[in-house]
Amino acid sequence: MLNMNKSNVAASGLRSTALSAALIAVSMTAVTTAQARVIKDGHGNEGYTTAAECDEAVLNGTADFYESFTFKPPLKRAGEVGHEVMDLGEVAGYENGACDRGVGKRMERDGVGAKIIGTYVPFSPDMKVNAYKNASGEIVRLMMQQCDNNFSANMPRPVASAAPAYVAPVITQGPTVASDCFVDIVVPAKFETKTEKVLKVPATKRYEVVPATYKTVTEKVVVQPESVRQIPVAPTYKTVTDRVVVKPATVRRVPVAPVFKTVTEKVLVKPESTRLRVIPATYKTVENRAISKEASKRLVPYPAQYESVTERVQVAEGYKTWKRGRAWISQALDVRPMSDFNSDGELVGGSSSIVSKADDDVMCLVEVPPKFETITVLKLKTPAGVREEDVPAQYCDCTKQVVDQPARTETIKIPAEYRTVQRVVVEKPGDMNEVPVEAVYETVTRTVVDKAASYREEKIPAVYETLSRRVIDQQGSTRVIDIPAVYETLSYRVKASDASTERRQILCETNATPEKIREIQNALKKAGFDPGAIDGTLRGQTMRAVNNYQRSKGLPEDGYLNIETVKSLGVSAQ
C-alpha cells in the first residue's frame, strides 16, 4: 500500500500520478519471479497475457518487439492537420516503449495476428510511428508508421519504469522548514544497446544440375492416316393435299335462369301476455247497536302501465344465388364461366375463379341479404295491483253493512298477435342447356419427304511429312557447389545500472497554493510550453507541459513538481 503522511499529501493532480505509478510498479514486482506467459502469432510476433508480464520483459531486455508485415499510407482523421514520423521513444512518456493490448482490423486498417488479439504486445522505443497533431501542434494520436495500424486507443499504453524491488514513494516534511516536502523517487534501471554477430544460415552445399546435350534427326512420319469421308445426299420431297380439322365439334352451354316464387309466412308481432282484473268486495247488512261499522282495511286497485317498444324483426332469410352477367362481379363471392354448370344448373367446374380474360357470359355467386322490418309493440312496464288502505270503525245504533266477501284480483291471459308477411324464394334453381356446335374443316397442301437423306463414302489417302526432332546426345549430370555461411548482427538491450531511490524536494499542499500553481503555469507558457488554462489548478495538460519542459532542460522526470524544476522556471518555492 502507498505509504503517505496524511498531513503532507500533495495537490490532487500529484496524488493521482503518484498512485498510478505505485500501482503499476507493485503489479510488475508481483510477476518478477513468475514465468511470463507468451503467445506467438504466425509471423513470430509475441503477446503477453498480462500488462505486468509485458512491462517486465521490456525492462529486462527479453521482449521480442512487434514488427509490422503490411504497408498502408498515412490516413488523417477529423481535427488532425498533419503528422510527423517519430521514434516511439521520442514521444513524452514512451522512453521505455509500450506494452499495449493488441486489436484486430478496424477503421480501414489491419490489426495484429489473430492469436495475439487481446494480449499485451511489446513495442520498441525505436519503432517508427506516425504522430498525428491538431492545429495547436499537440500529438493527439499515434499509429505504427509502416502499416499505419491502430493501437488499442489514440495513444498506446506506455511501459512504466520500475526497479527490481519497488520502494513506495514517501512524502514527508523537511526537518527544518515547515513548508518543505520531500518524496523518495524510484530511479529506474538504465539499459544500453549492444550488438553481436551471430550465425544466421550455416554453410551448406548446393547441387547444380548440368543439362543434357541434344542433336537433330530427320524422319518421315504420318501426319494424317488414310480415312473414309462420308458425303451427305440431300432428301427429295413431294406435295400432298389433306383435309384437316380446323375447329373440332363442341357443345355450347346456355344458362337457364332460375324460377322464383312468393311464399306467405305468419310472424309474431306481439307475444302472449297477462293482465290483472280487480273483483270488488261484497257486503251484507247486520244490526248492531254499538258499532255500525268496524275498522277494516280497504284494497284500492291501481292499473297496469305499458310502454311502446320498437323492434326490428326478420321477415325473410338471406340466401345465395347464381346470377348471370359480369355486372354482378363486384358483388360476387365466386365467379365461374358458363362451362362450369351442367344442364340442371349445378356447379361442376373447378375451384379457381375466372380471370379478367374470361368470356363476358359468366355466372356470379351473389349473396342476397336477409330482410328486416321495424314494428312497434306494447310491452308491460308495471303490472296492475292493489294497495291496502285503513278504514276506521263507525259507531251508531243502527244497522250496518259488513264485508260478505273481500275484494280480490284474477289474472287474465292476453293471446299473442301475429301478422302475415310474404317473401320471395327460389322455386327452381338456374340450369344449363347444351347446344351442339359442328366441326370446321379445311383443305391444306403440304410438302412431305419422298426419299430420305443418305450418305455416300469417299476414300481420303494418308498424308506424310518429313520432320526434324531433337534427341538426347549426352545425358545430364549434377555438380556440387559450396555455399558459405551467412551471419547477421543482432542488437539487444542489457542493464547498465540498477534502479535506485533518490530523495527529492517537491511541491505539496503546504506550498502548492493556487497562486503558486498559477505562477508556474505562467512561467511554462512564457517558456513555450502550453499548460492549458491559467486557473491555479494542476491538471493533466499542466503536468504534460511540466514533463516536456523537464525533458527539454534535462531535468529529472518523476511525475511531481520537484523543486529543481520550479527553480529552473524562475519561480520561488516559498
Separation CA 262–CA 505 (nearest Å)? 122
Q: Is the pLDDT of residue 266 over 80?
A: yes
For range 490-509, the mean pLDDT = 74
Separation CA 559–CA 140 (nearest Å)? 20
Taking the complete model, does pTM exceed 0.85, yes or no? no
- What pLDDT score does 359 carry? 58
3-class secondary structure, 225:
coil
Query: What DSSP string runs through 371-403?
Result: EEEEEEEEEEEE--EEEEEEE--EE-SEEEEEE
- What pLDDT score does 492 carry? 66
3-class secondary structure, 481:
strand
Per-residue pLDDT tens over the stretch 77-118: 888 998 999 999 999 889 999 999 898 887 778 888 888 998
Average pLDDT across the chain, whole number: 79
For residue 365, give the nearest of 430, 287, 412, 310 by alpha carbon.
Answer: 430
Domain residue spans in the chain? Answer: 33-144, 252-433
Q: Is the pLDDT of residue 7 over 50?
A: no
Q: Is the pLDDT of residue 319 over 70?
A: yes
Per-residue pLDDT tens over the stretch 209-240: 888 888 888 887 887 888 888 888 888 888 88
Which has more confidence, 435 or 499?
435
Q: How far is CA 253 from CA 147, 327, 353, 572, in A?
A: 85, 20, 18, 121
Q: Percent of the chain scored above 90 by pLDDT? A: 14
Which has more confidence, 164 or 235?
235
531: left (phi over 0), alpha (psi -120 to 50) or beta: alpha
Q: Is the pLDDT of residue 170 over 70?
A: no
- What pLDDT score does 9 carry? 31
| Residue 362 pLDDT grade (very low, low, confident, very high; cuts 50, 70, 90) | confident
- What pLDDT score does 526 carry? 93
Q: How far is CA 227 from CA 80, 232, 239, 455, in A?
A: 82, 16, 39, 16
| Residue 28 pLDDT grade (very low, low, confident, very high; cuts 50, 70, 90) | very low
For range 50-74, the mean pLDDT = 88
- What pLDDT score does 345 carry? 67
Which has more confidence, 519 or 165?
519
